[in-house]
Structure formats: C-alpha cells, structure tokens
Amino acid sequence: MIDSSMSTWFALIIASMFAASAVAHLLGPRFILKAYERWHFPPKFHRVIGIVELLAAAFLAEPITRIWGVALAGLVVFVAVVTLLNNRQYAWSLPGILVLAALVPASVSGLI
C-alpha cells in the first residue's frame, strides 16, 4: 500500500510539473509554437493548454480538489500522448505515459 504522505508528495511534484509547463505554454517560446503548428493545432492554442495545465496544478495542490486535478491532468496528458503517438514521436510520449502512471498514487492522496 502507498503511504499517504508519499502519495501527497507525488501530487505536489506533479502539480509543480504542471505549473512549470503551464508557464512555458503561456509564455509561448518559439519551439512550443513550432510544435503546435507542426501538429496542426490552431494559433494561440498553446495558451488554452497553459490555462488548463495551470488549473490542473492548482487542483492537484489542494487535497480537497485533488481528484479533479488528477482527472484534468490525466485528460491533458492523455491528449498529449495521443498527439505525440499520432505524429510518430514515440520516444517523446514515454514521459507522458510515466506521468499518467504517477497520477494513480496522487489520486489516492486526495481520498485519505
């Protein structure tokens, strides 16, 4: 069984990863803009993703809303992994799959 303090740490680490990614998406450096263009997403879509990731990070950081954060983060990561696999970027999809696996113990911490 996973210790509740360990699962809380998982949630906080994932929340900080989502917050950092949200800041990167909201700032929109050139490599992110080119990636979204290459994947045929609409212009400025990176800002939508940034806001959703920031919301997921905020939900993950608070124990009461953590399960909603896990659901939102899981949706964002799932869509990202599917997009990467669709564009044959298999190696880049592996970290996303690992984050999906790390969301499982993070979801437990909100229930305890």
Question: How far apart, in whole angstroms, are the C-alpha atoms of residue 19 and residue 108?
Answer: 21
Which pLDDT does position 15 carry in this prediction? 93
- Closest to 102 measured CA to CA, from 20, 21, 7, 16: 7
Burial profile 48-71: b = 16 or more Cβ within 10 angstroms, e = fewer: ebbebbbbbbbbbbeeeebbbbbe
Listed in sequence order, the residues at least 6 apart from 87 whose beta carbon sits closer than 8 Å to its beta carbon are 38, 39
Q: Is the predicted pLDDT of residue 2 greater than 70, yes or no?
A: no
pLDDT at 24 over 90: yes
What are the residue ranges spanned by the domains of the chain? 4-109
For the whole model, what pTM was predicted? 0.85
Q: What is the pLDDT of residue 3?
A: 54
Summarize pLDDT for 33-71 with one digit per residue, the tens: 999 999 999 999 999 999 999 999 999 999 899 999 999
Residue 5 is predicted with a pLDDT of 79
Query: Is the pLDDT at 1 greater than 80, yes or no?
Result: no
